[in-house]
Amino acid sequence: MPTTPDAPKNFLGIMVSSTFTDLREHRARLLDAIRGLRFMPVGMEDVGARADLDVIDSSLKMVAESAAYIGVISRKYGQTPVCPKRNPDKLSITELEFNEAMRLKRPVLIFIMSEKHPLTEADMEFDSEKRAKLAAFRERAKIMREGSDVHRIYDVFDSLEDFSNKAAKAVGRLSEFLRTPGVEERQAPPEDESEEDILPHAPALRALPKYLGSHAFLGRAAELQALDDWSAAADPHPMLLFEAMGGSGKSILTWHWVNNGATTIRNDWCGRFWYSFYERGAVMSDFCRHALAYFKGKPVEDFVKKRTPELADLLIPELERKPWLLMLDGLERVLVAYHRYDAAQMRDEEADEATDQIAKRAPCAAIRPEDDDLLRRLAAAGLSKILVTSRLTPAALVNKSGQPVPGVRREFLRGLRPPDAESLFRACGVTGDSQAIQTYLQSNCDCHPLVTGALAGLVNDYPPDRGNFELWAADPSFGGKLNLAELDLTQKRNHILLAAINALRPESLQLLQTLALLQAGATFDTLKNFNPHLPPQPHDETKLNKQRVYLASVEECSHEYAVRDASERLWNTIRDLEKRGLLQYDGAGKRYDLHPVMRGVAAGRMGDDDARKLGQQVVDFFSIQPHNAWVQAETLDDLAIGLQILQTLLRMERFQEAAEFLEGDFSNALIFNLDAKEEIAALMKPFFPNGWSSSVGLISKFQLLSIKNIASFPFIIEKPLLSIAILESAVPLGLEVGNVHNVRSLLSNIMIAYDNSNKIHSMSCVLSFLAKIEPFLVINDDILRSACDSMFYYTIIGMYDHADKLWKKIDSIGEMYSIDYNYSGYSEYCRAEYLFCLGELEEGFLLRAEGLADNGRNRLVVKALTKLRGRWHMLLRQPQEAVVSLARGVRLAREAGQHDSEAEALLALAQLRAGHRIDARADAERLDGKTKSLYLAELWRESGHTDRAIVQALRAHEWAVADGEPYVRRYELNRARDLLEEFGAELPEVPQFDPSKAKGFPWEKDVDAFIEKLKVERAAKERKQKRVVAQSQPER
């Protein structure tokens, strides 16, 4: 048996041990219950294959690293791994894990399946030897400890629902125990480092990726002293932010200090972690996953399925308990100002314009709201220190006056001191008078480090006398023609960098511009595919095969002189770009890349012809790279190849091909698999350069219809009026194309947007047009969706008889269900809402809806069902069960950059009623004004503030009244009036709808005309069919 520590890892992990295939749904419920209480479930779902651990070691390691153990024993014994030394009795993995938990004296919960539990044949154990072991294990698991006659407290469950209820309550009790002072503070000895591990383990520095410096570090004495002072434990600021324009040396300064100064000033760091946001995408969740993997000594794969809010809840306590040093380099990439498909090529002056290309948000706000929350929490990170570099200061880190919030220290980084800039200049091989060099650098580029290196490259490339500064500066054909006197610093920097680029030979320029198109740099093997010295590509191959055939032909003729010479010349070109300070190399990652500023300037210098030529090479190369099916994507990294292709097509302004690429699986993965609203909005914007109602005009009408539908998705919940505007601008296109399916789809989405705008009468009007179109629908999906939309609407306004009739219609369709809707669970969700309003919702139907939504990867329906389940459990007075479901729903919403304030209010209310220790008033204050939900009124009441509860109930009543009778939210209106009566408040009058306030739609006459055209066409078709039938009849 391997040696394991007697204390768990210092994190709130709970081991879930059981057989798997027969308990898949039971485990899912248990994992959600654990997550709902802000613990980390540990089990086989999150374990990837590891070369250093077999199944026994891996399982026992999970037990050792967990703070508690939960065993679920079914009617199967499970896998029995063979190992004479570690498993001589041929016990199952589950029993081995139980034994380890007992040996380590972990808190243990046991659930045993009863004889009454429904089972399939595959879920039963028939092997006689295993049956005997299973019976013995079931009895032994009930005993408190070996040799005792005392039974532990355990639960027997008769069904999945019974297990879910008992598990939620038991995990709630376990959570209170684990949070008792002293339980979670136990320390584990450090793990032995494996020689096979590639990444360093704490406390050694881990950098993702290592900084790519183009020159040695020089100067910055004052800044280094500021870093030393800040890093001291006595300094009150957990966070230090260096703000500066691109290329000022923020990264090299902090990289140098982290490697050379941090450990000199303090020797008690638990570890140092460097994370760069350049070229990785503006995703804080990825930073959290890698930081947690470093902290806990686990593979990053263990955290892949967790999203930012959940990751933050694991990260922040660790930072508050121990002194870690974290570095976030290039944080501007998470801000709205950089929320564009071409953020990697964005220049400082574009960020300084401070406009949001997507939806008029604050430029310095985080792209994802949960990132703002995380930044605020990092600024109060207790014992740890957080070092940040950014071109802009995040809004979350400053108050309304623009001053740093408590816990944040901000430093503005200027250029180098003139003597240091001269040293950098001379280190590049330049000679000349010291005073002349310093004066030139100070007046022309403020001793900006990146520009100083580029200027040195220009001087070194001066043909009459390479490296001679005075001659170069005086020559009107070289240094004398730069003419920098009237430019500001940013303009001077860009002017000099452009001069450095323009001085390149054509092949060097082509390679530099190709790298500017690549989002994550390139290895040498990748660069060989873009070698500008290779013979021209053949022109007689088809578009789909020419790159593959070309590369094969190069391989075949590699012995030829031209190809051998091209490889050598590529190497010389790379070295030349490095010497000029234009290209950087990461030795650890074996990756070539450009400084972000250089990338922006190089991309901006690229003409349309160059962009088309080089972009085609990039598209061709990545189009033949293998990748998993888009529908299997779990993170944006899984879509990296597709995103590179799409972003390059957009850069080339090949909008038709970009639209084709977006159709189908790729856009579905962004929408349904990832709910990636922010990324979708950024990718859509280039199609609409003059506003969302316009378009580039370079794609077909059918493609534009699809693109507008996709573009409306990011806004349909939080900015529904913008979504309506986009969709309504597409209606004329749908009518012109003449496709009933497209018109139906547009109107359905418009109706959803009106629901989110609380415009119930407008929903009714849209629904009337859908009803007129319904007789002409021929696609099963359309028929089903139309019926679901109607059922959903009638449930809202309380016409339950109509809703019931529609469900019977939907249910009768049966085999006509298509995979999309059958497995998305949308129709079942609509039915579940109806049953809930009538008080007839049952667990079985809810499980059916949840299973369909989960299997169909429809995150929108999954989120809606988690809230519905929470409401249902609250109605049944089961607050702990409600907590489990609502916690998942709130997490899913935050992962998508949303704040479902109603779900958060309901979660707080459920936690309060379940006996959790929460600050109800603080939660109510936080949510006040953000939701008109009655659950917030109940939260105010139960926190002892009836007056504020009444105010909130009146808000809820006003919201439920909507447009006035009969266009009201019936269920919510009845609840609001009941609650106001409980409070003893005067009941407001419910007004009737005022028809004079009704506004028509800009498209309604056209839609009516379209429907009349369909009627005429159908009548003509029917007459023709009758004539054909009549002509086929024999004469009498």
Question: Rounded to the nearest 5°, which phi and psi values hold at 523?
Answer: -75, 170
> Tens of pLDDT along 742-759?
899 899 999 999 999 999
pLDDT tens profile 580-638? 777 877 665 677 887 777 777 777 778 888 888 888 988 888 888 888 888 777 777 78
Phi-psi region of 556 (alpha: psi -120 to 50; beta: other; left: phi over 0): alpha
Token reading at 596 = 């972000």
What residue ranges do the domains of the chain occupy? 13-178, 206-412, 511-623
Tell me the mean pLDDT in the region 653-660. Answer: 89
pLDDT confidence of residue 483: 63
pLDDT for res 452:
82
For residue 999, pLDDT over 90 is answered with: no
- The highest-level CATH class for domain 206-412 is alpha beta
Asked if residue 494 has pLDDT above 80, the reply is: no
Tell me, yes or no, if the two domains 13-178 and 206-412 fold the same way. yes
Per-residue confidence band for 1, with pLDDT thresholds at 50, 70 and 90: very low
**Residue of higher predicted confidence among 47 and 270:** 270
Distance CA 504, CA 507 (A): 8
* Average pLDDT, integer, range 469-494: 74
- Ramachandran region of residue 877, left (φ > 0), alpha (ψ -120 to 50) or beta? left
Whether residue 551 is predicted with pLDDT greater than 70 in this model: the reply is no
- Tell me how many degrees the CA angle 84-88-90 measures, rounded to the nearest 5: 110
Contact yes or no for 62/4 (Cβ under 8 A): no
Name beta bridge partners: 109.
70
Q: Which two tokens stand for residue 723?
A: 């979504």
Q: How far apart are CA 224 and CA 1016, in angstroms?
A: 80
> Are the C-beta atoms of 345 and 604 separated by less than 8 Å?
yes
pLDDT at 187 over 50: no
Length of the chain (residues): 1036
Structure confidence at residue 392 as a pLDDT band (50, 70, 90): confident
Read off the amino acid at residue 824: S
CA distance 53 to 419: 55
**pLDDT, average across residues 304-316:** 82
Residue 820 pLDDT greater than 60, yes or no: no
74: pLDDT confidence band, cut at 50, 70 and 90?
Answer: very high
CA-CA distance, 298 to 312, in Å (whole number)? 17
Q: What average pLDDT does the chain have? A: 82
435 has pLDDT over 60: yes
Tell me which of 167-176, 430-439, 746-755 is least confident. Answer: 167-176
State mean pLDDT over 17-22: 90
What is the pLDDT, as a whole number, of residue 362? 66
pLDDT, tens digit, 9 for 90 and up, residues 116-159? 898 888 888 888 889 999 999 998 888 876 655 556 768 899 99
Beta strand 40-42 pairing with 13-18: parallel
Instruction: Look at the pTM and tell me if it is higher than 0.85.
Output: no
Q: How confident is the model over 508-549, as pLDDT tens digits?
A: 888 888 888 887 788 888 888 888 888 765 544 455 455 566
DSSP of 67-123: SEEEEEE-S-------BTTTBTT---HHHHHHHHHHHTT--EEEEEE-TTS---GGG
Q: What is the SS3 assignment for 594?
A: coil
CA distances from 935 to 868, 871, 920, 925, 956 (A): 13, 10, 12, 13, 9
My answer on whether omega of the bond before 209 falls inside 30° of 0, hence cis, is yes
Shortest CA distance to 610 belongs to which of 523, 498, 532, 727?
A: 532
pLDDT at residue 753 in the model:
93
Residue 351 has pLDDT above 50, yes or no: no
Q: Which residues pair with 324 in a beta bridge?
A: 271
Phi first, then psi: what are they for 927, rounded to 5°?
-95, -10
Write down the architecture of domain 13-178 according to CATH: 3-Layer(aba) Sandwich (3.40)
Distance CA 914, CA 881 (A): 9
Give the amino acid at 676: A
Q: Is 796 in contact with 831 (CB distance < 8 Å)?
A: no
The whole-angstrom separation of Cα 759 and Cα 999 is 11
Helical (H) or strand (E) element with 386: strand 385-390
Which among 605, 604, 703, 713 is positioned nearest to 655, based on CA atoms?
703
pLDDT of 631: 77
200 has pLDDT over 90: no
Cβ–Cβ under 8 Å, residues 828 and 808: no
Q: Is 461 left (phi over 0), alpha (psi -120 to 50) or beta?
A: alpha
Report the distance separating Cα 324 and Cα 235, nearest Å.
15
Compare 96 and 600 and report the one with higher pLDDT.
96
Instruction: Give percent of the chain with pLDDT exceeding 70.
Output: 84
Written in H, E and C, the secondary structure of 276-301 is ECCCCCCCHHHHHHHHHHHHHCCCHH
Percentage of the chain lying above the pLDDT 90 cut: 30
Distances (CA, A) of 958 to 608, 945, 997: 55, 20, 17
* Cα–Cα distance measured from residue 614 to residue 869, given in angstroms and rounded to the nearest whole number: 53
pLDDT at 902: 93
Least confident of 532-541, 714-723, 779-788, 896-905: 532-541
Structure tokens at 544: 């789909």
